Structure 1
Amino acid sequence: MTTHSAHTYRINDRVTLIAPPAGDGALAAGDLGTVAEIHGDPPAPQVAADQPAASLEPPAPEAQHPIYADIVQPGTDPIRLDVIWDRGGRTSVSADQVEPFVALGRFTRATVAVSAAAARRGQQVAHLWIAENIGDFAPHPGARYERRRHITREARRLLGSIAIGQRSLLDRLPTVGDLTGLDTRVQEPAWYEAAVGDRGPAWRLLTDDRRDALRHVYSRSFDEALRDRVIDLCRVLAGPTGDDRDLAHLDPAGLTAGGTAVFSHRWHLLDPDLPHDAPTGDGDGDFGALARYAEGYVGVLLEETVEGTVFDCDRTTAEAIVASQQARRAHARERIAVTGLDSAAADDAVERWAAGMFWDDDVIVIDERVRSGDYTAVRRIHPDGDGRYRMPDWGWYPVDPYACDRIHGPLPAPSGGPGWVPLQHVPGVRLADDRLRARPLMLAHLREDSLSVLGLEYAGEPVAVLDAGEEVTVTFLGPDFSEHDLRGYAAESTFDGTPLTAGQLLQTLVTDAETAALIAEMTTRSITLARYLDAGGLHLLTSIAVWPAPRTTAAALNLGRQLTAAAELNDPDFTDDRTGRWELWTGTGWLDVTPYLDDTDTGSTSVFTGWLTQPLSEIPPLQAPQTLSRDRLVDLAADHGVLLPRDGDLPALAARIVTVLHLGEIR
């Protein structure tokens, strides 16, 4: 056939195949390729009689000569193009069998859309086929991770069969013909209309040849996507780490603070249309048998919030998270650019869609100024003493590691790995686990004859009483937890990577409990706490009460600038070393509110006027909590029928009343 169009071709031009060569099953309409060679000369174009004679001469044939496909005359040999196809191979085609990729016709756009829709459908069917044949929906007896091991073996068997050329299992994969009549999305013309919409000609207007070409495109794209995704999923089920390590110990079910898990986010779902947060039906709390995540990140659970979970991770994992956020933004920028928005508008749209995230030396900077509508919303995430980063509360959640195509970060061995947890209010300290805690026995008014008395709990049971005077002393309540146990626990806990002594451990537990009690009392009065740490984030230099507590991130960041400015005025030496940082308690964690200095800063903090919404105010005096007087303790015991001497040693009295009345749960 001859196409009458104004398309021109040069070597290295991108073209789209619109009419596959007869007998070539490897090519289909919609395939993309690059022109490698051009064969044949175009005839001289017809021109007006008054045009200069020189223009009537055909141009000399050369490699870079434009080819006019629309002037091929009947009876002449068509211009032929040697095209290197993106899917592989090189074929000679007539110029009227292709069209420029940059000048897509309606049929070509329809072909591309059909191919993309078929590929998406093939990937969805691949997930279902895997789940029903070798995955979580297949009939596997036994406990959850016994089934998982069986799934892993089946996936490896399939991959091994493919490697040696045995394709019997792949031949059982469903085809478009198998789905016809079972799924309206592959019934004509529904599948065509759903894929193309108004981007191409109506199905009723297509010739039989073009309908056949589109059916072939759909079928081939579906089959290829299905087969490729099945192979990919088998590789993943065989182990996302690329080896045969058992990841059962990273099961998200029953995960508690301090436990290591693999975390991901909804934006990493490979197919958001598939169920991803519903139980599998066996009551084990799985996150969905069909859920697949492109990325997962190894981290330690710190806490659960309304938005999701908060975890920390090492530098390598943090780099992967930052890179992923940058890639998401870049991909969004490409999608927005094709809509025709100018560069500035496209950049602004991306900023409104997702926060910027980048590195400033060893600090993660999160820029949410445009997204929040507040041009002060820039925060920094510093590494702690162990070089770990607390990820922002963006709705992360723990997932089955086998559901991730790729896992970033060091995977702990089943019997080891970081099982420690940070103390919330003492920077740089990591405990062996979350079972040992100091709790105030009760809150009472401060009196001259009172001491700060706290209960020491292990796994929720009272094991000792702490006298938090100038030095912390301990009175153990029984043999279940002794000084030997305390020293062993301290040796497994660290400050800035160095094991703690028993005395240091007790002091940090008391400080954490006292700070928590202070914050709890302050919260009832709309007050919060701000603290200033040294450059390493390990040592508390000062802290102040802030009233009223900032209600937004923008107000908190503005408060950080005010705190910095106040420190500069009150301490002349402060301007010589501004490497420390201000942090503010937000109710769930400590937020770094230090003013951000960008690359163009000459030494002064970046202050955006007009956003001062939370000025510092006069702070009302606070009453010291977690104190217990001797008389109050004796009266409390008497109320419960226990008589104690009023002249006894206070820690001993506290130990006795805790033992008899089990008052360790009193707050």
Structure 2
Amino acid sequence: MTYQPGERVALVHTTDPHTLLRPGDEGTVRRYDPDLRIVDVDWDSGSRLAMVLDAGDRIRRIAGKDVSDADWRRVLDALRAAGATAGRAAAQWWAQDAVGGRARGSVAGTARQVLTAVDDGDPAVLDGLPAADRYSVAEDRDRYAEAAPDGAPAWDGLTAGRCDQTRWAWCDGFDAAVTDEVARQCRVVLSPTGDDRDLSHLHPKQARIGGPGVFAGDWAWTPNAEGEMRILVGFIGTLVDTWNGWAVFTCTRQVAEAIVADQHAARDRYRQHLATEGVTGTDQDDLVDESMARMRFDGDVIEVDESRVHGDPEAVQRIAPSADGRYIVMGWAWTWIPVHPYDCDRIAGDIPGPVDPAPAAES
């Protein structure tokens, strides 16, 4: 027979003639040495007399208060919630050093690395996050006293197995909350929307025909002040086709206007670059027109003039909206790709929520 710390026992007999303990006195097992068969007991009377089983001392286990499965689940839920509270606090301290006010270097780079690791379950990164110690029993009693709901059985009446369950519930809550809060903090750092919304459903790997995505030209990557390659603006749309690996998407009038404005901004940036190179006047105009299309709205129609780009006076497209007011801007012509929203400094368009998968057809 073995004994576990936390088990309740009652004295049956002791060979110690000097103790004040009497048969029936109760206590809690502190430690058991299976080799020497010695049970260290914290007796309720205050005595610390150990039971030497091979010398004739005898104790019996005391059955704990019977707790229904539902009540015990309620206890574990409370421990899990307490662990989650501690986990969120630990993650917030981590964030201050890693991606917050005390961080050094590129916090955006760290945030992207951590979010990718969370998505992929990469232990090389996740092992560096705060984690609960699942094998330390030192704080079990205090955690139980703080978190157990009213009506929960007394700690001293729990079996060793249930003591372990309380620790694992607390640790489960802690670790899950750390991951969630770390991801939230990283999303705040990276989010082009300025909040902590989870945009993982817009990851390029999730792009499907008929589904939402964030799109940009494969030419759109630009180094920022820290030398990181970023996309100034991504465009919300619905993927409707692909060609040669490039995306074709529909978008709202709002997004179409943003695409036209982005083209104007790109032309202006190129003008500024040419000016720094000493190219001005008509030479500058010619180089800009030969490199980038002119775009403008003519009523509800987008006019895209690439005549100078291709040296073809007929290379002018007029893009009208569909019956539901959506546009396909230079689909099957420009090399659009789905991009990760966290790679964008700004996103044009209303960001959709996750789309529930269609139910499987009944056979």
* TM-score normalised by structure 2 residue count: 0.49
**Greater RCO, 1 or 2 (C-alpha within 8 Å, sep 6+):** 2
TM-score normalised to structure 1 length? 0.28
